Amino acid sequence: MKKKSKNTRAEWEKIAKGELKGKKTSTLDSLKPDGIKIKPLYTSKDIQNLEGINSYPGMNPYLRGPKATMYPNRPWTIRQYAGFSTAEESNAFYKENIKNGQTGLSVAFDLATHRGYDSDHPKVIGDVGKAGVAIDTVEDMKLLFKGIPLEKMSVSMTMNGAVLPVLANFIVAGEEQGVSKNKLSGTIQNDILKEFMVRNTYIYPPEPSMRIVSDIIEYISKYMPKFNSISISGYHMQEAGSTTAQELAFTLADGVEYVKCALSKGLKVDEFAPRLSFFFAIGMDFFMEIAKLRGARLLWSKLMKQFNPKDTKSLILRTHCQTSGASLTEQDPYNNIIRTTIEAMASVLGGTQSLHTNSFDEALALPTQFSARIARSTQLILSEETGITKTIDPLGGSYFIEKLTNDLVKEAEKIINQINKMGGMTKAVEKGFPKLKIEEAATLKQARIDKGEEVVVGVNKYEPDTIEKVDILNIDNTKVRKEQIKKLSMIRKSRNNKKVLASLEVLSNAARKKSNSTNLLEHTIIAARNRASVGEISDALEDVFSRHKAVTRSVSGIYNSAFEGNEELVDIKSQIKKFISNFGRRPRMLVVKLGQDGHDRGAKIIATAFADIGFDVDIGPLFQTPAEATKQAIENDVHVIGVSSQAAGHKTLVPELLKSLKKEGNRKILVVCGGVIPPQDYKFLKNKGVAAIYGPGTNIPQAAHDIIQLIQKKKNIAA
């Protein structure tokens, strides 16, 4: 009679060892960038005595969801982050999306607005209407929401630097639509700490910026009960390259800092904490992202207990999520539809309250109506066709998910403890700690992709034989800017300029006073009613606070260490030795960001990697004009300028850079471009004089090889 097999761990180990031809099962273990070990098998022993393991949704520690009934009662809000060109065009886009099933609006503003400049400012020539909608005054905001009932529609606004004038314009637009501020619902991002860490669309230094945050929290807690005063964002950290544990830790540490900031205004924790919200990125690490959202709720409830809230709602983390932009690829772009679907599923299984799904063409350009419809339908299909909304926390109790959630929380707590030892997140940001750690993580990730250790289908494995042509949305930046300048001019002529100047003076005087003596948002609303522009309001505050200028640094040795011994890198370094022998110095590159685009992940990775490879690398300060970049390039005697672009200003700003070089009589310096540039624009840029273009997914050692060759082929090369 055949002996019955025992269903035990030891028996499984025995069978598995046989399949592995004698190797231990531990050889199947893998390690996450966070240091978390992933085992091939989890059992009930892995989840014994874990925190929150027997908890229920809607109950402390909220591991299983912030609401007791979750999606069976009310599915997540379907939002689409959108805004481009003029307020009129964005308004038409919103109305179409609402008609097709969208249940909340999420507004993207252009970089000129983010940075507190009016559309007629000389520094924003290439930025107006490009990566979002241009908003100069209340009149633009009214056009943006024309025919959209603000008492019924939840509106999320991604705004941090120019948060005062933008929020004020929204409140006044509501008033003049007949909707009082106490009926407005939605969220203002108002998360300035992450701007200093990764996104860089700040205006003022950290201290006055935090004062603005607390004033907005105070005002909204008093007068806008349906509105969220802040959306604490981890999204941009992941987009900048953070690990999952870093995103979780830095985001919640930011949240704690904002709570302390509001308490310093004299507010009680229960007056504002229930209206705090969070914003996370959802990338391709499926189970890790599910664990992150579950762990975020658990960890936030623990962190909030230090403030002794009486209302249990103060312990609850509610979040919006957005699928990853960084995971989208220019190569084989239709793969992005699958990526976004997987990320959306992770977000929903993790228990998000609202979701934006990126369009497949966003690695190339702004989304078209066609791609936006696919992205929106992804959510509708998940909600309406899959049955995913029928069960609360369907992965709750999974041995793997519960253990992964616990492990991730522990890793995040280690980072938060480091931050606490520094004196909190503001101090950590001032020391550059989060920024450095994120840049290190981003560089290591790029190295893994370049080496093929981390697979990106269609980029470093299973590359397509043909290039797919994708229709893109093209914004005529010059036309939009002219239209905005015309509207601004008409408003300045029709408004009472004495009242404008008087209200701006009151605002400046308020900024000079101690923070607890006055509220800056109250004074900004008055200025906005008088039709003061975003730029004028920002200038009135800048006169007192000054404009923040960050010191540009880059990590060193990280890329090199990850590539240690790699043949491709050895070959590149050999080429550089020959270059030095022939020309008496290393190839020298200036890496620049032109215009108001603060997304510097790509620029920092390139600068770090090229320096590690053997180039002499200079990094231009953020927000350079073409003329400023030209001056720096000539003064530093570089061979090549590398322009990193993400915000669609390349067709305006790069030709200006080439003109500027020509004007200065320098024809030796090469210009190359990289980043989010539609293939349709390659010919235009090359006709203008760009030597080479490198899109998302470019292999860095290969790019370095190409650029060395380009420099050497250039006639009259400067030795």
Tens of pLDDT, residue by residue over 31-71, are 999 999 999 999 999 999 899 999 999 999 999 999 999 99
Per-residue confidence (pLDDT) for residue 226, from 0 to 100: 94
- Kindly indicate the confidence band of residue 3, based on its pLDDT and cuts at 50, 70 and 90: low
Report the b/e string of 393-405 with b at 16+ CB within 10 A: bbbbebebbbbbb
**What's residue 716's pLDDT?**
45
CB contact set of 180 (below 8 Å; sequence gap of 6+): 174
CB neighbours of residue 13 within 10 Å? 14
pLDDT band at 718 (very low <50, low <70, confident <90, very high): very low
pLDDT in tens, 527-538: 999 999 999 999
Distances (CA, A) of 320 to 104, 280, 327, 487: 11, 7, 18, 34
pLDDT at 343 over 70: yes
Specify the range with the lowest mean pLDDT, choosing from 74-88, 227-241, 420-434, 655-669: 74-88
pLDDT greater at residue 527 or residue 126: 527
In this structure, how many other beta carbons lie within 10 angstroms of the beta carbon of residue 308?
A: 9
Does residue 4 carry a pLDDT above 70?
A: no
pLDDT at 661 over 80: yes
pLDDT of residue 719: 41
Tell me: pLDDT of 619 over 80.
yes
What pLDDT, on the 0 to 100 scale, is given for residue 276? Answer: 92
642 pLDDT exceeds 60? yes
Can you read off the two tokens belonging to residue 608? 């770090």
Burial class (CB in 10 A: 0-12, 13-18, 19+), 424: middle
* pTM of the full structure: 0.89
Residues 6+ away with beta carbon under 8 Å from 197: 236, 237, 240, 250, 429, 434, 435, 438
Does position 386 have pLDDT exceeding 60, yes or no?
Answer: yes
The more confidently predicted of residues 265 and 405 is 405
What's the mean per-residue pLDDT of the chain? Answer: 91
Q: Which positions are catalytic? A: 81, 235-236, 593, 597, 599
Task: Please check the confidence at residue 715 and state whether its pLDDT lies above 60.
Answer: no
CB neighbours of residue 615 within 10 Å: 27
Highest mean pLDDT among 27-41, 119-133, 472-486, 507-521: 27-41
Give dist(CA 172, CA 11) in Å, integer: 70
Q: pLDDT digit string (tens) for 192-205?
A: 999 999 888 999 99
Is the peptide bond between 33 and the residue preceding it cis, with omega within 30 degrees of 0? no
pLDDT band at 103 (very low <50, low <70, confident <90, very high): confident
Residue 460 in contact with residue 335, Cβ under 8 Å?
no
CA angle, 320 then 322 then 325, to 5°: 155
- Looking at residue 83, its pLDDT comes to 66
